[in-house]
C-alpha cells in the first residue's frame, strides 16, 4: 500500500513537472511561472508577482530566491525554471554563455551601495573614510559575490583602505551581523538597508555612483512555460512593476 502511494506520488510529481501545473488558460498565458531571482529581490519581486497574478488570472508565480551565482549554477545544471533575474551582469553572462537563455537579457533595475549603520548612527559615521579607523568594526561582502565587488570598487574610488572584521557570503549575512550589533557598519545595497526597516539607517555616499549594480532578467531556453516566462519578463518593465521596485529603493535602468 505504501509502495503504491509512493509510486502514485512520483507519477503525479513527474506529471506536474511535465506540463508546468495547470493547462494554459485562454490568451496564451497560464499555468505556473517559476522565477529564480537574486536574494535582494525577495520583497519587491514578491509584490511584483502578486500584481502579475492579478493581471493574468489563473497564472501562479513561484519564486526561488538565493545568491545569484548559486541560482546560475542550478540553471546550467538543468533546474526547471522559466525566468532568471540576477543581481549582476557577470552572473547572467554565465547563463547566457552556457546557452541556457532565450534571447538577450534586459536590465530592469539598478542598485547602489549605502553605508549601513545601526539606527541613529551612534558612531557618527558619515563617509567611507570613517571606516578606515581601527576602532570601527566593518562587515563587507566577500569579493566573490556582487556586493563585495561593488564595495571594493567604491572603496577604491574613495581611495580608502578598509580592513573588515569579516567578509560575508552574501549581502543579507552582512546585514544580519549589523542587526545583531556585532559590527558598527556594513556596505550593503540601499534596498537591503530599506528592507531592514527601522533597525538600520542607510547613509548615502558619493562614491557609490562608481559601483552601480545592474539587474538583468531573461527568459530561459528550457522553460516549461515559455509564454508565461515571456509575459513575466515583459511585466517587470511595465510602469506598475517599476513603481514597486522604486519603492523598494531600486533605481530605474
Partner 1 sequence: MLPLLGLLIRAPWQTLPQRLTAPGVLAALRLSLLTATLATVVCLLLGVPLAWLLARTTFPGRGFVRALVTVPLVLPPVVGGVALLLVFGRRGLAGEWLDATFGLTLPFTTAGVVVAEAFVAMPFLVISVEGALRGADARYEEAAATLGAGRWTTFRRVTLPLIAPGVAAGAVLCWARALGEFGATITFAGNFPGRTQTMPLAVYLALEQDLDAAIVLSLVLLVVSVAILAGLRDRWLGAA
Please give the residue ranges that form the binding site for partner 1 (CB under 8 A): 67, 69-70, 73, 137, 139, 142, 144-145, 164-169, 173, 177, 180-182
**Nearest to partner 1 of 72, 229 (CB atom):** 72
Q: How far apart are CA 192 and CA 194, in angstroms?
A: 5
**Nearest to partner 1 of 173, 185 (CB atom):** 173
Q: How far apart are CA 233 and CA 218, in angstroms?
A: 7
Q: How far apart are CA 9 and CA 13, in angstroms?
A: 6
Q: Binding residue per annotation — 83? A: no
- The answer to whether residues 83 and 232 touch, using CB atoms and an 8 Å cutoff, is yes
Q: State the minimum distance, in angstroms, from the CB of residue 30 to partner 1.
A: 36
**Nearest to partner 1 of 86, 223 (CB atom):** 86
**Nearest to partner 1 of 198, 239 (CB atom):** 198
- The answer to whether residues 33 and 229 touch, using CB atoms and an 8 Å cutoff, is yes
Q: State the minimum distance, in angstroms, from the CB of residue 121 to partner 1.
A: 17
Q: State the minimum distance, in angstroms, from the CB of residue 118 to partner 1.
A: 10
**Nearest to partner 1 of 26, 77 (CB atom):** 77
Q: Binding residue per annotation — 88? A: no
Torsion 185-190-192-197 (CA) sign: positive
Q: Binding residue per annotation — 40? A: yes
Q: State the minimum distance, in angstroms, from the CB of residue 151 to partner 1.
A: 14
Q: How far apart are CA 102 and CA 229, in angstroms?
A: 10
Q: State the minimum distance, in angstroms, from the CB of residue 53 to partner 1.
A: 32
Question: How many CA atoms does the CB half-sphere of 177 hold within 13 Å?
Answer: 23
Q: State the minimum distance, in angstroms, from the CB of residue 142 to partner 1.
A: 5
Q: Binding residue per annotation — 114? A: no
- Cell numbers for 41: 529581490
Per DSSP, 78 falls in state T
**Nearest to partner 1 of 169, 243 (CB atom):** 169
Only one residue has cell 539598478, namely 110
Query: Within the chain, where are the H helices?
Result: 2-19, 42-55, 68-76, 89-97, 146-158, 171-179, 190-195, 226-235, 239-247
Instruction: List the binding residues for molybdate.
Output: 40, 68, 171, 189
Bind-site residues: 40, 68, 171, 189
Amino acid at each position: 500500500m505504501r509502495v503504491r502511494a509512493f509510486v502514485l506520488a512520483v507519477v503525479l510529481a513527474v506529471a506536474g513537472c511535465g506540463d508546468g501545473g495547470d493547462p494554459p488558460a485562454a490568451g496564451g498565458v497560464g499555468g505556473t511561472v517559476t522565477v529564480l531571482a537574486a536574494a535582494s529581490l525577495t520583497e519587491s519581486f514578491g509584490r511584483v508577482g502578486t500584481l502579475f497574478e492579478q493581471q493574468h488570472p489563473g497564472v501562479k508565480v513561484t519564486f526561488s530566491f538565493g545568491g545569484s551565482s548559486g541560482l546560475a549554477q542550478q540553471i546550467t545544471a538543468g533546474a526547471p525554471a522559466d525566468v532568471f533575474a540576477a543581481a549582476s551582469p557577470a552572473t547572467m553572462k554565465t547563463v547566457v554563455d552556457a546557452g541556457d537563455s532565450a534571447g538577450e537579457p534586459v536590465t530592469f533595475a539598478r542598485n547602489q551601495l549605502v553605508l549601513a549603520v545601526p539606527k541613529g548612527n551612534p558612531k557618527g559615521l558619515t563617509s567611507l573614510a570613517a571606516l578606515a579607523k581601527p576602532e570601527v568594526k566593518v562587515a563587507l561582502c566577500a569579493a566573490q559575490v556582487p556586493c563585495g565587488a561593488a564595495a571594493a570598487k567604491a572603496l577604491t574610488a574613495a581611495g580608502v583602505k578598509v580592513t573588515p572584521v569579516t567578509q560575508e557570503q552574501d549581502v543579507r549575512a552582512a546585514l544580519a551581523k549589523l542587526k545583531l550589533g556585532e559590527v558598527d557598519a556594513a556596505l550593503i545595497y540601499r534596498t537591503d538597508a530599506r528592507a531592514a526597516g527601522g533597525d538600520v539607517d542607510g547613509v548615502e555616499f558619493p562614491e557609490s555612483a562608481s559601483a552601480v549594480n545592474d539587474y538583468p532578467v531573461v527568459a530561459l531556453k528550457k522553460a516549461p512555460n515559455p509564454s508565461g516566462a515571456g509575459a513575466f519578463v515583459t511585466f517587470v518593465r511595465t510602469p506598475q512593476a517599476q513603481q514597486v521596485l522604486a519603492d523598494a529603493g531600486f533605481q530605474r535602468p
